Amino acid sequence: MDAVRISVPLRPVVTVNPVTSDAPPSSGPVGDVLVVGAGLAGLRTVAALREHGYDGVVRVLGAEGVAPYDRPPLSKHLLDRTSPAWLADDLGHDLHALSDEVLLDRPARALRPLAGGGAVVTTDDGDVRAACVVLATGAGAVRVPGWDRARALHTAADADALRTALAGPPRRLVVVGAGWIGAEVAGVTAAAGHDVTVVEARPTPLAAALGTAVGALTAPWYAAAGVTLRTSTAVVTVDEAGVRLADGTTLPADVVLVAVGARPATSWLGDALPLHGGAVRVDEAYRVLGADGPLPGLHAVGDVALRRSARHGWVPGGHWDEALHGPDVLVRHLLGLPVPGPEAVPYVFSTQLGHDLTAFGLPRTDDRTTVLGDPAADAGWTVLWSRGDAVTGALVVDRPRDVGAARRLFARDGLPHLPLPDDATTVGDLRTLVRATPPV
């Protein structure tokens, strides 16, 4: 892939009438709705309200000043897609046509829940009151204080700045963090001819997401893709000389990307709501939970929400499917409509270093792992996590047919039960295993 050497500005957005604190009340069954956040979860909430017949007032506050766009392509297609993947094009939802008022550059600054339900949201231009408030402010990249020279990658503006920094002749890029984003960026930039080094503090790539044993199976991909990988290595500082490691080594760098995770964008809430790891706890209906149960008129969905699940326990919102499908469940509950089952399974898709990865479920670090196939071969493989005979998660690498089998495996209420062999080499793939012993 050739590096793209142009910088395309973000598409300007024209907003409609400004939001006011005394907007007329809705005649709908839930009063007026204020959606705080204009990303995928916010857009899908607005779309679901209209799809299910809600004709009351819907208002939206955004923070980035641009129309809703899809975030996964920012890393997967960093160099070959120089403008955002606009969700109006991908999903067919026009936020302005669906909403009564939209302000895309009006970030929320504070929240005050109201005793009778709903809340008041404070912005730089005044307070906005609504009978129903949906928190969908997404997440933000973790930034390390003092590492001012380092870049992050979470927004379209971040992606545009990183492309600009990599334009011209091949650069020396140091990526701090071998998680999903770090691996994706390392792959596309190395393929474009850049000198890429990835530094990971944990013993293996993807250790936080997959555990060290499974993460170690991806380590050989780096050298094969022309990327230098340094694990069990802590970064002390990022400065003009480059990246300084705990052992005293300095890695010279023209560009440094810190990709050590994202956190729910909830700092603006202060102490207005109880937070758990920075997220807002919600029940199965996405109602915000206080000390004594759901808070009337307050909902949260997407990256900000930690959802209670009968199947998985507490599910963090940092999954693309949560932002895509969660709003429909929220709105159905809100409007008193039937909610079809089963609940959506946590889902991650990644293209990194020449490989396609698809993960389902929410395994724990102490779950048993069973590997189907040979990761050392070049024919794809699958990992299943289990607790007893209950399958808690699946990772499929370069096996499209096993992706379908894994999706069907979790297309049921509760965790699927599938007896797993002690010697997985006797079963080549997940499709064969499911056919031999259908899950219950």
Q: Is the pLDDT of residue 10 over 50?
A: no
In a domain, 328, yes or no: yes
Domain termination residue (choose one: 211, 241, 260): 260
In a domain, 341, yes or no: no
Percentage of the residues of the chain whose pLDDT score is greater than 70: 92
Each residue's pLDDT tens digit, 250-294: 999 999 999 999 999 999 999 999 999 999 999 999 999 999 999
Residues 125 and 267 occupy one common structural domain: yes
In a domain, 356, yes or no: no
E strands, 246-389, in order: 250-251, 255-258, 262-264, 275-276, 279-282, 287-290, 293-300, 305-309, 313-316, 347-352, 355-361, 368-373, 381-387
Domain termination residue (choose one: 260, 277, 310): 260
What percent helix, strand, coil does the chain show, rounded to 5? 25, 30, 45
- Please give the average per-residue pLDDT across 98-103, as a whole number: 98
Q: For tokens 């029940």, what's the residue?
A: 283
Domain termination residue (choose one: 243, 260, 277): 260
In a domain, 239, yes or no: yes
Each residue's pLDDT tens digit, 348-399: 999 999 999 999 999 998 999 999 999 998 789 999 999 988 999 999 999 9
Residues 369 and 330 occupy one common structural domain: no
Q: What is the chain's mean pLDDT, rounded? A: 91
Residues 398 and 298 occupy one common structural domain: no
In a domain, 17, yes or no: no
Residues 134 and 272 occupy one common structural domain: yes
In a domain, 20, yes or no: no
Residues 136 and 267 occupy one common structural domain: yes
Asked which of 27-41, 196-210, 234-248, 275-289 is least confident by mean pLDDT, the reply is 27-41
How many CB atoms lie under 10 A from the CB of residue 435? 11
Each residue's pLDDT tens digit, 42-78: 999 999 999 999 999 999 999 999 999 999 999 999 9
- The pLDDT, as a whole number, for residue 389 is 87
CATH of the domain at 370: 3.30.390
Band of the pLDDT at 26, cuts 50, 70, 90?
very low
- Please give the average per-residue pLDDT across 149-178, as a whole number: 97
Asked which of 25-34, 254-263, 423-432 is least confident by mean pLDDT, the reply is 25-34
Q: Is the pLDDT of residue 426 over 70?
A: no
In a domain, 38, yes or no: yes
**Which pTM does this prediction carry?**
0.90
Each residue's pLDDT tens digit, 104-148: 999 999 999 999 999 999 999 999 999 999 999 999 999 999 999
Q: Give the DSSP letter of residue 383.
A: E
- The pLDDT, as a whole number, for residue 19 is 38
Q: Is the pLDDT of residue 16 over 70?
A: no
Residues 135 and 160 occupy one common structural domain: no
- The pLDDT, as a whole number, for residue 159 is 98
Residues 157 and 255 occupy one common structural domain: yes
Residues 73 and 113 occupy one common structural domain: yes
Residue predicted with more confidence, 4 or 400 = 400
- The pLDDT, as a whole number, for residue 424 is 64
Task: Give how many domains the chain has, as a whole number.
Answer: 3
DSSP 64-120: SSS--EESTHHHHTTTT--S-EEHHHHH---HHHH-SEEETT----EEEE-TTSSEE
- The pLDDT, as a whole number, for residue 204 is 98
Alpha carbon distance 110, 140 (integer Å) = 17
- The pLDDT, as a whole number, for residue 344 is 86
Q: Residue 272: which domain range?
A: 33-140+263-335
Residues 115 and 166 occupy one common structural domain: no
In a domain, 347, yes or no: no
CATH of the domain at 179: 3.50.50.60
- The pLDDT, as a whole number, for residue 27 is 36
Q: Is the pLDDT of residue 408 over 80?
A: yes
Q: Is the pLDDT of residue 36 over 90?
A: yes
Strand partners, 371: 383
Residues 231 and 272 occupy one common structural domain: no
Alpha carbon distance 424, 422 (integer Å) = 6
The answer to whether 9 and 116 have CB atoms below 8 angstroms apart is: no
Residues 46 and 181 occupy one common structural domain: no
Residues 255 and 269 occupy one common structural domain: no
Nearest alpha carbon to residue 85 among 120, 51, 127, 43: 43
